[in-house]
Structure 1
Amino acid sequence: MVDRVDINRLLVEMRAMKQQTMPTRARELDQVSHALKPGQVINAPESTDNFSHLFSQAIDKVNATQQQANQLAKAYETGRENIDITDVMIASQKASVSFQAMVQVRNKLVEAYRDVMNMPI
């Protein structure tokens, strides 16, 4: 059985993320655009790459978590004092979980892209 996400919940989450990443002026225009009649057009602000910037920041955070885990592991291996094996294992698991989550996000984005590209015109 295929586990499907409730489309309404997904749309609400996507709109909330969009609102968080939009500059104030773009938010105002977005709210106005919902009140427009079909076919009515407004001048849109310059397109910014907010999503790619947000995604890039997330990747950087995952990378930083992995580097921190590697540094802790090397410090433990070299016998540096005040480094506990539990701290090393926790950092390693955090890095692993964050990487797995990032892979799942990427997979969902690719799946959504494919779905959009396969939509009939």
Structure 2
Amino acid sequence: MDFKLSPVTMPTTVRPSTGVRPAASAGTEGVGGGFSGALKSALGSVSAAQNEASRLQKEVQMENPKVSLEETMVAIQKAQIGFQASLHVRNRMVQAYTDIMNMQV
């Protein structure tokens, strides 16, 4: 059995060396969104947690009696854990990309 592989090139909007973010295509925004939708949702929630922690921190600094220090510290820790988790996911994705690019065909 002979398998023929056609050469595949990445579009210029996806190449990491160009520094350009990939354009959103109509095929990736389906019913469930798949992996990209889940990743976008997770990054959005991490960003929201960081914004909330920042807001609470400012309120504590302005000595707002309605905001407790404990609530602020918990929000900061949640934001930090979310950021670290997203950083680990990014590192794993970069490692997987590097492994795939180093495979010999």
Q: TM-score range by the shorter chain?
A: 0.5 to 0.7
2:39 corresponds to which of 55, 59, 80: 55
Q: CA deviation at 1:82?
A: 2.0
Greater per-residue helix proportion:
1
Q: Please, what is the CA RMSD of the aligned residues?
A: 1.8
Q: 8 Å contact 2:28–2:36 — kept in the other structure?
A: no
Cα offsets for 1:67-90 (capped at 9, x unmatched): 000011111111112211111111
Name stretches of at least 5 consecutive residues in structure 1 with no aligned partner.
1-38, 40-45
1:91 maps to 75
1:80 maps to 64
Q: TM-score, normalised by structure 2?
A: 0.67
Q: CA deviation at 1:47?
A: 4.5
Q: Counterparts of 2:28 and 2:49 in 1: how far apart (Å)?
A: 28
1:65 corresponds to which of 35, 44, 49: 49
Q: Counterparts of 1:101 and 1:85 in 2: how far apart (Å)?
A: 24
Name stretches of at least 5 consecutive residues in structure 2 with no aligned partner.
4-25
Q: Counterparts of 1:48 and 1:63 in 2: how far apart (Å)?
A: 22
Runs of 4+ with deviation above 2 angstroms: 46-50
2:84 maps to 100
